[in-house]
Amino acid sequence: MKYYLIVGEASGDLHASHLMAALKQVDDNPEFRFFGGNLMSAVGGKRVRHYRELAYMGFIPVLLHLHTIFKNMAMCKRDIVEWQPDALILVDYPGFNLDIAKYVHAKTNIPVYYYISPKIWAWKEWRIKNIKRDVDEMFSILPFEVPFFEQKHHYPIHYVGNPTAEEVRQFQDSYHETTVDFCRRHGLANKPIIALLAGSRRQEIKDNLPAMIQAASSFPDYQLVLAGAPGILSEYYKEFISGRDVAIVDNDTYSLLSHAVAAVVTSGTATLETALFRVPQVVCYETPLPKLIAFLRRHVLKVKYISLVNLIDDSEVVRELVADTFSVANIAHELSAILPGCSARDRMLEGYDRIWQKIGADSPSKSAAHIIYSLVRQ
């Protein structure tokens, strides 16, 4: 069977690569063509575009690159029609992917499957109309999405479990490096580690990392280690860490989290990864017009939290510093409360245990692959 996949960021590349590997286990002769990254390329198939050519975030960056975005979108539509896959598999990235779904549904008979459903429960709920019209099958990785889609909007979906939990579990089963060896391998100091996870896009790194470094630098007994994101060159980080006592570990985030005692994390998949590694964290996200964004959070957004950890548990397991609460002082204060020996740390770890119980048991890539393959064969 022929599968065309589209992802728009590093986490999508990771999840899609595992789905592709699982499809190879159920399909004797799969062909892959994709907009994706290095991990998907390692599984096999033809990469048409790297996700770095798609990953623009924020109003101004998107506006400045509209020509490139529209050019890639038009090229992607032509490529899908010319290749005629047996299935189109979209992975998150709704701004791009829902437009592709609309075109493919209207112009072809190619089935459209959405793996890792768009987070319309938080923002742009009106997109459910487009999803119902253009997406043949939806695959969810978050348990609270099932009642949102099926009960509220009467749109049946497949809940297959969470790929991040599966990926963390697989890594932990095979990783046995000591902290001493990890620090030696990366040339780090002999101090406990505070990990800094500043996001996977340049704009969010620029917005968040300076304050994260300044706040975490308040604790001289710890060393600061920045997780270099896939697709971001080390040179880009230099302007932020120059003159600062911050080390970088490139493309080895899971190893870093295995040895960190605390973390400062921007919102996103990284918050869930950090929780699954049982690393107490402060979640922060700087926004423009913070007072306006705070107002919108209270009166427009459909959810109480922004981090996946809190959303899954439906409680404030981790502290979120967003918009008007985002500041160096607040980050430092919350970080001091979760360092070893603090009671807030123990409460957070108890919350992490609940997260594992809710999402840790399934193998979503295998479940989704079996369903997709059976649907395509029909």
Per-residue pLDDT, averaged over 243-262, amounts to 96
Residue 294 has pLDDT above 70, yes or no: no
Tokens of 215: 């706040």
Are both 147 and 252 inside the same structural domain? no
In a domain, 172, yes or no: no
Contact 217, 196 (CB under 8 A): no
Q: Indicate the SS3 state at residue 144.
A: coil
Are both 324 and 250 inside the same structural domain? yes
Are both 214 and 306 inside the same structural domain? yes
| Cα separations in angstroms, 235 against 50, 240, 248 | 20, 10, 11
Model pLDDT, residue 301:
60
In a domain, 254, yes or no: yes
Q: Given the DSSP bridges, would you call strands 31-36 and 193-197 parallel, antiparallel or unpaired?
A: unpaired
Are both 132 and 249 inside the same structural domain? no
Residue 291 has pLDDT above 60, yes or no: no
Are both 134 and 221 inside the same structural domain? no
Contact 32, 5 (CB under 8 A): yes
Q: Indicate the SS3 state at residue 260.
A: strand
Query: Domain holding 314: CATH number?
Result: 3.40.50.2000
Q: Indicate the SS3 state at residue 287.
A: coil
Phi-psi region of 199 (alpha: psi -120 to 50; beta: other; left: phi over 0): left
Q: What is the pLDDT of residues 349-370, one digit of tens each?
A: 999 999 999 997 778 999 999 9
Are both 331 and 310 inside the same structural domain? yes
Are both 199 and 340 inside the same structural domain? yes
Indicate the range of 33-37, 46-50, 66-70 predicted with least confidence. 66-70
Residue 201 has pLDDT above 60, yes or no: yes
pLDDT bracket for residue 60 (50, 70, 90): very low
For helices 364-377 and 163-174, angle between their N-to-C axes, nearest 10 degrees: 130
Q: What is the reported pTM?
A: 0.82
In a domain, 217, yes or no: yes
Are both 256 and 355 inside the same structural domain? yes
Residue 27 has pLDDT above 80, yes or no: yes
Domain span including residue 187: 181-359
Per-residue pLDDT, averaged over 159-163, amounts to 93
In a domain, 17, yes or no: yes
Are both 199 and 136 inside the same structural domain? no
Are both 215 and 352 inside the same structural domain? yes
**DSSP-H helix ranges across the chain:** 10-26, 38-43, 59-64, 66-83, 94-107, 128-134, 145-146, 163-174, 179-186, 202-216, 234-241, 253-259, 269-276, 290-299, 308-313, 328-336, 343-359, 364-377
Contact 352, 317 (CB under 8 A): yes
Residue 19 has pLDDT above 70, yes or no: yes
In a domain, 310, yes or no: yes
Model pLDDT, residue 59:
44
Model pLDDT, residue 288:
57
Tokens of 240: 């932020």
In a domain, 174, yes or no: no
**Number of domains within the chain:** 2
